[in-house]
A and B are shown apart, each in its own frame.
Chain A
């Protein structure tokens, strides 16, 4: 019988992918969870009272993420309010099934769920987009649209922070890809654990140092319910090369994934290399380094029947086809969304405040910053419209 090298007590039943150590199930759970806890603590990802959305796709990464974060939140008293946030891209045979898994997760983990769909945000589902643009650039559309969809969903949920299931393999692969593509700006950003998206919504990756194989192993032993089908629209070939290479590297030396991340963290870019500056899109208000954000240009291309508009040839296409006609539909402006979210917040608060004490209401409102005695009285008596007048965030 092989004995676990970590506890020297139990029977070893698995070979840890990260280190090749032969260990027992309990020790595996322990090291797996503790490494994620260290990642959270060392990087100061959360503070008590944070409202956190877990980007949930129904796949293994996000399912394990929801499970582990909920577990650690209880074990170490992080004091987090957790939500599940899903994006419905509208992919038949893939997303519709995986969303069913997310809905089951919602029941199993007892967390509130918000679903935002491409159809509702952009007027196009992924299936419709593929019909229009074919299978060559569809992943560009999907990636750009998903990023914005998540941020918009987060605003609706009124959360400050989205956590995603990106694991160590994903990050190592991205480091390699960015070197191969010569994308120096992304090379520097891709190993950062926290990035700030729009409206100060943070994004972070608690699985930054967690191996994909160990996530699968964890889900397997814990018998977690996840959806394991790959997206029906396969990713591009070039990324495929990098992925195969990384798998081969890992088979030569298991620590190489973490070693690549270590390298990526050490990289520093020469000052004279220009990095793009951030502004906001004049059409939808989303953050953008150009006048228009990528999502707006891609959507304009779709709506005008010019799918190439957003893919490298923007200026030339504009010269030929002119500017966007006024009646073209666009993404809802973020300000509108923010008002909507604010109203929802007030409505919730109102509903809740009728059942609780004025002091509790005071505490709830940004640590009492906006709430005075008289305001509470107003809140208790009046409707959401008045409420939204004085309830201006920050």
Chain B
């Protein structure tokens, strides 16, 4: 484990522990590294303190009964605080930037699925108190008809939870246990899902994309095989965490297929993983990368991808198709009607509710396989933030700034986040 640019003893770290072998090894390595060594003169630890966080997915994917207990014990044995967060808690207002935002966002498509860059309509509404968070999470996942999309949602929700928790605990670093094997798989699967723009951030050993919380991947140079040996050698137990595609055939999802492909290739050509990892490490974040985050996956949005999609996947065979207004669909109620679409002929004004431009390319591709779903508060909060920012920009020139310093501060912050 290499750690550059560390101020000894100043930073708090949050470790994401899934209980799998890689994060288990990472926790152990961090413990060894951060231990006060008795023979050293300066008894200073590298990190001020270490927090551990376990995202509990068992309500959705099931698993052995004592899994949770085993994971908790891994950290407790090393005298670390561990927090268990059930995945469904993403619907709790605790996991928003403000910590109190309690609205959810309903997103629906125009139902026609014609243009590749289809419009996405939204309405932000009060959370219903009658439904449990668990049911809300289930409904969100059930709204996606493809496993590839469900897996993506899983991943985004987990990351969002971890980031919010890190912020709340004032942790300046978030440790993720991605091994080089994992990262090679991610490189290929992200490429396949059209996420090449954000790829350099998603596999980086260190990234400041999330401002105050640096994401680190200390295990990025270790093969999963090597990690297995390390754990065996130290008698470290890990638990098996089932995923959405456990027991499913390779073609169940893009992620699952890619895993199968890379692991298979590595068997025949043992340098596959290291070659892919090396290639990916030579990619850099684009100059076009702005501070604008996708409201769902929180990754950067590439400009002008919508027109790109429409030019090379044509879906209107006459020019009139562009100008025709969408008509009301039954699933979307915004005051027009709650009746079935056939009964409704009144065109609905939706121009200002389209939020497709707030999504990244990859998430827009995902939404083609999603019906009407309700996303958790963090998404709704992001939409509000971005709309606010948009308004501010529109009237910016008319604002009299009597506080130049503050402006400067904001500018600086944006600059840092842009890296």
Question: A266, B257: Cβ atoms under 8 Å?
Answer: no
Docked CA distance A248–B368 (Å): 19
A386 within 8 A of B: no
The answer to whether B315 and A260 have CB atoms under 8 Å apart is no
B250 on interface, CB distance cutoff 8 Å: yes
Known: A248-B251, A252-B251, A266-B286. A182 touches B196 (CB 8 A): no
Given contacts A19-B116, A248-B251, contact A253 B315 (CB under 8 A): no
**CB <8 Å contact, A253 and B146:** yes
Interface residues of B in 188-220 (CB under 8 A from A): 188, 190-197, 199
Q: Which of A19, A31, A183, A262 has the most CB of B within 10 A?
A: A262
Question: Inside 8 A of B261's CB, which chain A residues have their CB?
Answer: 241, 245, 248
A35 with B146, Cβ < 8 A, contacts A180-B265, A182-B275, A184-B279 known:
no
A391 to B390, CA, bound (A): 60
A375 at the B interface (CB under 8 A)? no
Distance of B367 from chain A, by nearest CB (Å): 12
Per-residue contact bits, chain B 248-271, to A (CB 8 Å; 1 contact, 0 not): 001101100110010001000100
Question: For window 97-118 of chain B, which residues contact chain A by CB distance below 8 Å?
Answer: 112, 114, 116
Given contacts A184-B282, A256-B254, A6 and B187 within 8 Å (CB-CB): no
* A38-B314, A266-B286 given; A248·B257 CB < 8 A: yes
Whether B308 contacts A262 by the Cβ 8 Å rule is yes
Q: Which residues of B contact A270 (CB under 8 A)?
A: 282-284
Interface centre among A5, A178, A258 (most CB of B within 10 A): A258
Given contacts A182-B275, A268-B286, contact A263 B199 (CB under 8 A): yes
Q: Can you name the residue of chain B whose Cβ is closest to the Cβ of A245?
A: B261
Contact B276 A179 (CB under 8 A): yes
- Give the CA-CA distance A256 to B196 in the complex, in Å: 12
Contact A181 B192, beta carbon cutoff 8 Å: no
Interface membership of A175, Cβ < 8 A: yes
Report how far A265 CA is from B196 CA in the complex, Å: 8
Q: Is A12 an interface residue (CB 8 A)?
A: no
On chain A, the residues within 8 Å of B232 by CB distance are: none
Question: In the complex, are the beta carbons of B279 and A182 less than 8 A apart?
Answer: yes
Once the chains bind, are A262 and B305 in contact (CB under 8 Å)?
yes
User: How many residues of B are counted as interface, with CB atoms below 8 angstroms from the partner's CB atoms?
Assistant: 52
A180 with B275: in contact, given A266-B302, A273-B282 (CB under 8 Å)? yes
User: A189: shortest Cβ distance to chain B, in Å?
Assistant: 14
Give the chain A neighbours of B362 by CB distance below 8 A: 259
> Is A7 engaged at the interface, CB distance under 8 Å to the other chain?
yes
Residue of A with least CB distance to B272: A180
Contacts of B116 in A (CB 8 A): 19, 255
| B residues less than 8 Å from A182 (CB atoms) | 275-276, 278-279
Chain A positions within 8 Å of B275 at CB level? 180-182
A259→B194 contact, CB < 8 A? yes
> What is the distance, in angstroms, from B96's C-beta to the closest C-beta of chain A?
30
Query: Which chain B positions have C-beta within 8 A of A238?
Result: 269
A-side interface size class: 35 or more
Interface residues of A in 152-188 (CB under 8 A from B): 175-176, 178-184, 187
- Chain A nearest CB from B157 CB (Å) reads 21
User: Does A249 touch B at the CB level, under 8 Å?
Assistant: yes
- The answer to the question of A301 belonging to the interface, with a C-beta cut-off of 8 Å to chain B, is no
Cβ contact of A262, chosen from B194, B250, B251, B318, cutoff 8 A? B194
Interface readout for A250-285 with B: 1 if CB under 8 Å, 0 if not?
011101101110111111111101000000000000
Complex alpha-carbon distance, A238 and B313, angstroms: 30
Chain B residues within 8 Å of A34, by CB: 314
B282–A252 touching, CB < 8 Å:
no
Q: How far is the CA of A346 from the CA of B386 in the complex (A)?
A: 65
Q: What's the Cα separation between A201 and B236 when bound, in Å?
A: 62
Cβ contact within 8 Å between B279 and A179 = yes
Closest to A262 in B: B194
Q: In the complex, how many angstroms separate the beta carbon of A211 from the nearest chain B beta carbon? A: 10
Compute how far the CA of A222 lies from the CA of B115 in the bound complex, rounded to whole angstroms.
Answer: 26
Asked whether any CB of chain A lies closer than 8 Å to the CB of B398, the reply is no
Given A30-B317, A263-B199, CB of A252 within 8 Å of CB of B312? no
Q: Is B244 an interface residue (CB 8 A)?
A: no
In this assembly, does B365 line the interface, its C-beta being within 8 Å of a C-beta of chain A? Answer: yes
- Complex contact B196–A263 (CB within 8 A): yes
The contact string, 1 if C-beta is below 8 Å from chain B, for chain A 6-20, is: 110000000000110
CA–CA, A245 and B253, complex, Å: 12
> A167 to nearest B CB, angstroms?
12
Residues 7-53 (chain A) with a chain B CB within 8 angstroms: 7, 18-19, 21, 27, 30-31, 34-35, 38-39, 42
Query: Can you list 20 residue pairs at the A/B interface with Cβ under 8 Å?
Result: A5-B112, A6-B114, A39-B312, A179-B187, A179-B188, A180-B272, A209-B312, A209-B313, A245-B261, A248-B251, A249-B254, A252-B253, A255-B116, A255-B368, A259-B362, A263-B197, A265-B196, A266-B197, A266-B199, A270-B283
Pairs of residues from A and B, 5 with the lowest C-beta to C-beta distance, nearest first: A263-B196, A259-B194, A209-B312, A266-B197, A266-B196
B: residues with CB less than 8 A from A are 112, 114, 116, 146, 148, 187-188, 190-197, 199, 250-251, 253-254, 257-258, 261, 265, 269, 272, 275-276, 278-280, 282-287, 302, 305, 308, 311-318, 361-362, 365, 368
Q: A252-B253, A253-B254 are in contact. List 4 more A-B contacts (CB 8 A).
A: A30-B314, A179-B187, A245-B261, A255-B368
Question: Which positions in A face B, CB cutoff 8 Å?
Answer: 5-7, 18-19, 21, 27, 30-31, 34-35, 38-39, 42, 175-176, 178-184, 187, 209, 238, 241, 245, 248-249, 251-253, 255-256, 258-260, 262-271, 273
